[in-house]
C-alpha cells in the first residue's frame, strides 16, 4: 500500500507533537497504554532500529503502528546522525529543519528526528507500517 502525503503529514505531526511535549510529559502518567522507562531500562532496539548504548529517559508509544519512541542521549546531534546512518541499509534522506536533523528511510517507514537537548540530544523515532 503506497504511503500518501497526508499519512506522512499526520505521522510527522504525531512525531513533532511528541518532540514538543516530551519535556513536559517526563515523569507524568499519561493515562494510556504507554511504557515509560529510564536509564538501563530503555530497550536496545525499537522496531529493528538500534538505540545508542547511553539511551535514557525513554518514552515509548508503541501499542500499534505507527509507533514512536523518544529518548535522551549524551551524544551530539552529528554523532547520533552518523550512528543511525551506519545501521540503516538503503538510501536515507537527511535534512536539517529548525536546528533538528531529520532522517527518513524506506519511503518514510522509519523517521528519526535528532535535536539538541541540554548537554546532549533528544532522539525521536517514528516507525510506520509497511
For 21-44, what is each residue's pLDDT tens digit? 443 333 333 333 344 433 347 999
Domain annotation covers residue 64: yes
Alpha-carbon gap, residue 76 to 103, rounded angstroms: 15
Residue 62 pLDDT class (50, 70, 90 cuts): confident
**pLDDT value of residue 11:** 52
Q: How many domains does the chain contain in total? A: 1
Residue 77, judged by CB atoms within 10 A of its CB (0-12, 13-18, 19+), counts as buried
Domain annotation covers residue 23: no
Domain annotation covers residue 75: yes
66 CB contacts (<8 Å, ≥6 apart)? 11, 14, 126, 127, 128, 129
Domain annotation covers residue 11: no
Average pLDDT in the chain: 78
Alpha-carbon gap, residue 124 to 119, rounded angstroms: 17
pTM for the structure as a whole:
0.70
Residue 6 pLDDT class (50, 70, 90 cuts): low
More confident residue, 78 or 106: 78
Alpha-carbon gap, residue 18 to 43, rounded angstroms: 18
Domain annotation covers residue 39: no
Domain annotation covers residue 33: no
Domain annotation covers residue 119: yes
Domain annotation covers residue 26: no
Structural domain range at position 111: 55-127
**pLDDT value of residue 96:** 94
Residue 2 has pLDDT above 70, yes or no: no
C-alpha cell at 5: 502525503
Amino acid at each position: 500500500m503506497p504511503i500518501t502525503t497526508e499519512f506522512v503529514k499526520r505521522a510527522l505531526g504525531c512525531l513533532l507533537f511528541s518532540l514538543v511535549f516530551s519535556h513536559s510529559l517526563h515523569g507524568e502518567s499519561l493515562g494510556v497504554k504507554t511504557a515509560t522507562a529510564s536509564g538501563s531500562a530503555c530497550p536496545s532496539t525499537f522496531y529493528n532500529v538500534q538505540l545508542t548504548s547511553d539511551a535514557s529517559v525513554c518514552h515509548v508509544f508503541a501499542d500499534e503502528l505507527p509507533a514512536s519512541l523518544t529518548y535522551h542521549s549524551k551524544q551530539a546531534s552529528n554523532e547520533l546522525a552518523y550512528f543511525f546512518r551506519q545501521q540503516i541499509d538503503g538510501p536515507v534522506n537527511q535534512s536539517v529543519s529548525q536546528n533538528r536533523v531529520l532522517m527518513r528511510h524506506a519511503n518514510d517507514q522509519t523517521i528519526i528526528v535528532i535535536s539538541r537537548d541540554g548537554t546532549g540530544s533528544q532522539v525521536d523515532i517514528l516507525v510506520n507500517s509497511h
